[in-house]
Amino acid sequence: MTKARLVILASGNGSIAQSIIDAVASKVLDAQVVGLICDKENAQVIERAKSAGISEFLIPMKSDRKLWDSEIINTLEELSPDLVVSAGFMRILSAECVERFRIVNSHPALLPLFPGAHAVRDALAAGAKETGVSIHWVDSGVDTGEVIAQESVSISASDTEVILHERIKIAERKLIVATLQTLLADHVRS
C-alpha cells in the first residue's frame, strides 16, 4: 500500500514541522512528507526540510494576493497530498484552497478562544488561567474550522509570552503527531 502523502505549510522556526518530520522518519507516522511550503525567505524551517531531504517550495506573499493563492494551489496540486498540515503557517488560505484540499492546522490556544496570529499574547492579556493547543480542520475563516483535538496548558503568574508559548509548543508537538496518527489510520480504512 502507498503511504499517505503529507504536505507541511510553515512560516518560521518550524519546531512543530520538525516533530512531524521526526515522527515520519522514526515510522511513528505511516506517511511520507512530499513537500514543505514556506512563505518566508530565510525561515529556519527551510533548513529543516533540506536536512531531512524534503522538497521545499518558497512562495512569498505577492502584492497580487490572487496570484499567491494560485501559486499555493498549483503547488499543492502538483504534490497531490492526502493531507496538508499547517504547522506555524502565518497566512490565511483562500476559500478555493481550503475547499480543494484536506487541511489541518495547529493553533496555540483552546479554540474558539483566542483565534488569530497572537493567540498566546491574547490569552495573557485576557488574564486567562489556562490556554492550550487546538488541532482543527481549516475552513475559510480564521481558526474557525471544526476542532479535532485539544489539550490545555495552565498559565502561571510569572509567564511571559515567550515562556508560555514554548510550554504550549511542547504540548503541540505531541498532539499534532497523535492527531495525525488517528487521521492517517482513518485514511487507511477509508
* Alpha carbon distance 15, 29 (integer Å): 17
32 belongs to the binding site for ligand GAR (CB under 6 A) = no
* Alpha carbon distance 6, 37 (integer Å): 11
145 belongs to the binding site for ligand GAR (CB under 6 A) = no
Interface pick for ligand GAR out of 3, 5, 13, 149 (rule CB under 6 A):
13
Taking alpha carbons only, the member of 139, 145, 64, 144 closest to residue 95 is 139
46 belongs to the binding site for ligand GAR (CB under 6 A) = no
* Alpha carbon distance 140, 55 (integer Å): 27
Check if 118 is active-site: no
Of residues 34 and 119, the one with the C-beta less far from ligand GAR: 119
174 belongs to the binding site for ligand GAR (CB under 6 A) = no
56 belongs to the binding site for ligand GAR (CB under 6 A) = no
Question: Strand 56-58's sheet: what is its strand order?
Answer: 56-58, 31-38, 4-10, 83-87, 103-107, 130-137, 147-154
12 belongs to the binding site for ligand GAR (CB under 6 A) = yes
Spatial neighbors of 104 by CB under 8 A, at least 6 apart, are 83, 84, 85, 86, 135, 136, 137, 138, 148, 179, 180, 183
35 belongs to the binding site for ligand GAR (CB under 6 A) = no
Of residues 74 and 152, the one with the C-beta less far from ligand GAR: 152
Residue of 107, 118, 136, 187 marked active site:
107
Of residues 118 and 187, the one with the C-beta less far from ligand GAR: 118
87 belongs to the binding site for ligand GAR (CB under 6 A) = yes
Binding site for ligand GAR (CB under 6 A): 12-17, 87-88, 90, 106-108, 117, 119, 169, 172
- Active-site residues: which are they? 107
